[in-house]
Amino acid sequence: MVLVALLSGCGGDVAFEHEVNPSGEKVLVAVASNFVPALRQLQSHFEAASGHRLSMSVGSTGKLYAQVHAGAPYDVLLSADQERPLLLEAEGQTSERFVYAEGRLVLWHARANSETTRAPLDVLQNGRFSRLAMANPKLAPYGYAAQMTLDALGLSEHVRNKLVFGENLGQAHAMLATGNAELGFTALAYLLATPGEPSLRYWLVPTTMHAPIRQEAVLLRRAASNPAALAFMAFLRGTQAREVIAAAGYALPAESSQGVTE
C-alpha cells in the first residue's frame, strides 16, 4: 500500500494518492475540504470493493470549480454546494449529478477548557474573543452559511474587525486547531473526526439560520466512459457509503431526491 500526500501550506490544497491495485482503473476526485475525513474512509471501502484506485485533490468549492472550468483533468467533483454543479451542467460539462450529503455548520470554541463554562454562542454574542475564523464566503459554501448565521444573529457588524478568513474550510479549521483563532465556524464532520472533542465546546448551528448546505457529486463529461469514475458514483449512492457519510456528521438526502442524470 502506498500513500502519497502533497501539501500546499497549512490547511491548503491537498492531493492524496492511495494505491492498492495497480491493475485497476483510476478516478481523480476533486473534493471540497469539509468532506476529506469522510472521503478518506470511503476511499478504503471503495478500493477494496472495486479494485479501482482513487486519488483526490482538495480545495474550496469555488476554486475547484474554477479549475474544472479551466480544464483540470478531474473525473468527479464532490462539491459543497449545488450552485457550481448547476453552472457546470449549464456549460455542458456534466454527465450526472446528485446530492450526496447535507452539511452541518458548527461554531467551535477551540480554546475552551474544563474551567470554561461559557457556551460558544455566548462567547460570540459577548464579543470576548480576539479572532473569529471562517471560510471565505465567496469561495466556500460553509463560509457563506457562516455569514448568513452572523446576519441572522445580528452580529455581522459587531464582529467585522475580528474576522479572519481561510480560502477554504480546511484553512479556517486549521486556524482554530493551531490556536491562531479561538472561535470560529467549521463543519461538524471535522469535529467528529477529532477524538474526544467535547460537545460543550461547539454549538450546532440551527439549519434555519442559513441556506441548506446541499453537497452535490458531479460526474464530469470527460469521465463518462471511465469505469472507475462510474463505479465510484454508484458506490457513493450505496448503503455502505451512506452509512459512512451519516456517521461522519452529515444529514442524508432522501434516496428519492438524490439523483439528476442527463
In degrees rounded to 5, what are phi and psi of residue 61? -60, -40
Report CA-CA distances (Å) from 150 to 132, 158, 189: 11, 9, 21
Please give the Cα distance from 176 to 180 (Å, whole number). 6
pLDDT digits (tens, 9 = 90+) for 201-260: 899 999 999 999 999 999 999 999 999 999 999 999 999 999 999 999 999 987 534 555
Query: Is residue 9 pLDDT above 50, yes or no?
Result: no
How remote is the C-alpha of 97 from its chain's centroid? 17
Q: What stretch(es) of the chain map to CATH 3.40.190.10? A: 2-103+213-255, 105-209
Q: What's the confidence (pLDDT) of residue 19?
A: 42
Please give the Cα distance from 97 to 116 (Å, whole number). 44
Report CA-CA distances (Å) from 21 to 31, 84, 206: 22, 32, 43
pLDDT digits (tens, 9 = 90+) for 48-93: 999 999 999 999 999 999 999 899 999 999 999 999 999 999 999 9
Please give the Cα distance from 39 to 134 (Å, whole number). 22
CA angle 9/12/15 to nearest 5° reads 100
The CATH homologous superfamily to which domain 105-209 belongs is: Periplasmic binding protein-like II (3.40.190.10)
Q: Which CATH architecture has domain 2-103+213-255?
A: 3-Layer(aba) Sandwich (3.40)
Structure pTM? 0.82
193 band by pLDDT with thresholds 50, 70 and 90: confident
Extract the C-alpha cell encoding 2: 502506498
Give 183's strand partners: 109, 132
Element (H, E) at 19: strand 14-19
Give 15's strand partners: 6, 57
Please give the Cα distance from 206 to 189 (Å, whole number). 15
Task: Work out the mean pLDDT of the chain and round it to a whole number.
Answer: 87
